[in-house]
Structure 1
Amino acid sequence: MDALSMTRGGRKKARGRLQHMPGVALISVVALTIPLVLLELAISDSTVRLIPLMIILPALTAAIGTLRETLYAAVWVILVITAVLAYRPFPSLGDQVIVMALAFVLGVLCVLTCHKRIRREEESQRMRSGAAALQRQMLRPLPVLTDRVIVDGVCHPVEEDLLVGGDIYEAVASPYGTRLLIGDVQGKGLPAVAAAFAVLGAFRETAQREPTLTAVADALETAVGLHNAFAAQTGEPERFVTALILGVDGSEATQALSCGHLPLYLLDGGAVTTAPTGEPGVPLGLAELSAEPRTVDWFAFPPSATLLLCSDGVTEARDSAGRFYPLEERLWAWADVSPWDVAHDLADDLARYTGGSQRDDITALVVRRVT
């Protein structure tokens, strides 16, 4: 099944519908006018008038309501002000004219502001949808099967606020075994997707050609450097990419090369350990900042074990109190869970932990040897 098609699209749509319940903004404006009118009529002092305060009420619907609701709110406020002034006019006719003129002008401005807001939101939604569709085309559907491993999991791209993120993954069969990649591009939006595409393209080519993981990492470094050089010419900011590259062959030992990415977890027999991935070198695109070359480490990956690879959208997720998600604690609690359910249970648990507020891509992959 395509993991990207399993994103919580339904939940996001539900949240979007809740952000604007039809009629709420307009009802709120109507409800606010009632106490203002009652107070206005109850105050005997002719120098204290509350009715002019009503002219700002359509701004509420302009901020959160529809265009029609904003128009209705502006008309309602003008009618209420007109009725109150007819019953209890200002001592000066000029003051009445000023209040009515302000109510009309501000009502028109609120309608225009609402129109611009809705147009801007629609444009942002189109951009989010386009970027998400492009991201879906870049990443292979899960599960991915090679002659050495099977990779399954979830990849939930964030599609709110700053557009989609830049999580990437890939598994490539090569003469040297299966090469695995998980990475995270700095930033969000279409520029991040473009950088992700550059890394994926380079990995798919070099993973089959280069005999060592260090050579693969060097090729990815070159790809990010070329992308950044082109981005600088077009005024886009340069980006870096955290990545973890694995090499799985017929032996029990597995190679790992970290480019500033999170460590991976080894789940075996109910135990949870952090697999050694060597020194976490600098992210791709920042090699010139370090004099130390990237190195490869080895760790045991028996047929009975499961590897869990995550993006920082998992470890940096927070609850309402600002506490980070306790990933390792949760993994110990799922010792008896089927390996193929770990990533999906993790995604569901994250949604509960954060209250459905996803601020970054969430990628969790489980890797098992083909036996």
Structure 2
Amino acid sequence: MRVRQGRPRPGRSWQLSHGLVAIPLALIVAVTVLDISTPTSIHLGPFLVAAPAITASFAGARLTGAVGALAVAAQILIGQLHGGLTTANHQAQVAALLVLSVLVTIFRYVRDRHARQLVQVRSVAAAAQQVLLWPLPRRIGRLRIECAYISAEEEAEIGGDLYAAAPVPGGVRLVIGDVRGKGLAAIGEASALVGAFRGAAYRHLPLAGMMAHLGNSVYWNLAHAPEEDPESFVTALMLDVPDSDPFLRMVNCGHPPPLLLRDDRVLPLEVADPAIPLGLNTPSPSEYEVETFPFASDDVLLLYTDGVMETRNRDGVFYPLADRLASWNDRDPASLVRRLHDDLLRYADGNLGDDAAMIAITRFPDAEEPGAGRPAPEQPDAEQPATGTSAGRPSPPPRRPAP
């Protein structure tokens, strides 16, 4: 599920602008009638310049130019009725009004052209990101998954948040990450990582081997980029959730730790030895330590990007994610993601400084599992996704999350 901050519909904006045009038209009529009704020593014609200026605040260049032309025509009419346009005063008023109306119309035209270009760039970037972020299925194996994506939509820049999931023999593998930077360059780097994940999801690589594969893909993609940023990198977190075992295995490369919701507690799953972000070197599987954490059937796990934590309110205070989750009693993934999404937008008054992605996962009970009772496919010896091995080393027993 993708969630974006809405924009006003073009049709509604068109109707609004054509309804407001009555204001400058009424101003032209009022100034003309009052100027004609007053003695010739009183000049109200200069107030006509307000008509095109007001129109430019809500309408396009054509309507602004039309209102400006009407204002100039009204000024000419006033001059004719007050003794003709032969006087220097009336000629100066007409010339000044004409010049100002043209300038206001040109300004509105330039602004409209810039807005059209910005909408086009946003559309291309949004389409690229929509291709990148496929909606996650709500069910994979024994996992129920709910996700949301909130775009900051700051000018044409959108972030490089990413996520993907794939079934593996005996479980489910998920990845979530965040590319440093914004815009199309960040989308390209995120696309390289997601493409590498999808392409290798069925190669039966161990968890550490898969992360090393992604790290090398990101590194070489950045190395061959036309405009390489020496500080570009990707924070990423990957985990395997076995179908039949009450725990999960995780590798963290500088990404915010997931939060485990158990009863009324919120427990961060922090690894003892996090790896460096992807893209900074060409890693080998031995560089990644696979750590194991309990994950029971009634637990809910929340994965998120730093856009959630770095959301600020008007006072500049960061969003208290853990406190918010602890105060909510609902542990249904769909309700949790929806509530978190709405609360983030309220906290930031609808203006997030960065894109934010969030994924809530939980296990289906055996009775609700699609195809329950069927044996899981046999796991090839080369894969070992449910044993948590890394570079031939057995993983430690499940760790207890920090209280």
Shorter-chain TM band: 0.7 to 0.9
Residue of structure 1 in register with 2:219 after alignment: 225
Partners of 1:244 and 1:336 in 2: CA distance: 25
Does residue 12 of structure 1 match 2:7? Answer: yes
Does residue 139 of structure 1 match 2:133? Answer: yes
Does residue 341 of structure 1 match 2:363? Answer: no
Partners of 2:254 and 2:70 in 1: CA distance: 59
Does residue 22 of structure 1 match 2:41? Answer: no
* Residues 266 and 104 of structure 1, relative CA distance in 2, 3 Å threshold: same
Q: Tell me the TM-score normalised to structure 1 length.
A: 0.79
Query: What per-residue deviation string (whole Å, max 9, x for no partner) do you get for residues 79-108 of structure 1?
Result: 45445666779xx95565444334323322
* Residues 241 and 93 of structure 1, relative CA distance in 2, 3 Å threshold: farther
Query: What per-residue deviation string (whole Å, max 9, x for no partner) do you get for residues 163-214 of structure 1?
Result: 4332211112224742211112233333322221101011123344364333
Partners of 1:332 and 1:74 in 2: CA distance: 59
Please identify, of 295-304 and 61-70, the stretch whose mean Cα deviation from structure 2 is larger: 61-70
Which has the larger helix fraction? 1
* Residues 267 and 53 of structure 1, relative CA distance in 2, 3 Å threshold: same
Q: For the Cα contact (< 8 Å) 2:306–2:356, is it kept in 1?
A: yes
Paired letter, 2:346: R
Partners of 2:147 and 2:11 in 1: CA distance: 26
* Residues 211 and 176 of structure 1, relative CA distance in 2, 3 Å threshold: farther
Does residue 201 of structure 1 match 2:188? Answer: no
Query: What per-residue deviation string (whole Å, max 9, x for no partner) do you get for residues 195-253 of structure 1?
Result: 2110101112334436433332222222222322333x2x4756422221112224333
Shift of 1:343: 0.6
Q: CA RMSD in A?
A: 3.9
Task: Provide the aligned length of Structure 1 versus Structure 2.
Answer: 360
Q: For the Cα contact (< 8 Å) 2:35–2:44, is it kept in 1?
A: yes
Residue of structure 2 in register with 1:350 after alignment: 344
Partners of 1:20 and 1:187 in 2: CA distance: 38
Residue of structure 2 in register with 1:241 after alignment: 234
Shift of 1:115: 2.7
Residue of structure 1 in register with 2:276 after alignment: 282
Higher RCO (C-alpha under 8 Å, 6+ residues apart): 2
Please identify, of 49-58 and 268-277, the stretch whose mean Cα deviation from structure 2 is larger: 49-58
Residue of structure 2 in register with 1:111 after alignment: 105
Q: For the Cα contact (< 8 Å) 1:25–1:69, is it kept in 2?
A: no
Partners of 1:28 and 1:282 in 2: CA distance: 61
Q: For the Cα contact (< 8 Å) 2:179–2:186, is it kept in 1?
A: yes
Q: Tell me the TM-score normalised to structure 2 length.
A: 0.73
Percentage identity across paired residues of the two chains: 33
Of 116, 124, 127 in structure 2, the residue corresponding to residue 122 of structure 1 is 116
Residue of structure 1 in register with 2:144 after alignment: 150
Partners of 2:8 and 2:113 in 1: CA distance: 19
Partners of 2:240 and 2:280 in 1: CA distance: 23
Please identify, of 266-275 and 80-89, the stretch whose mean Cα deviation from structure 2 is larger: 80-89
Gaps of 5+ in 2: 366-403
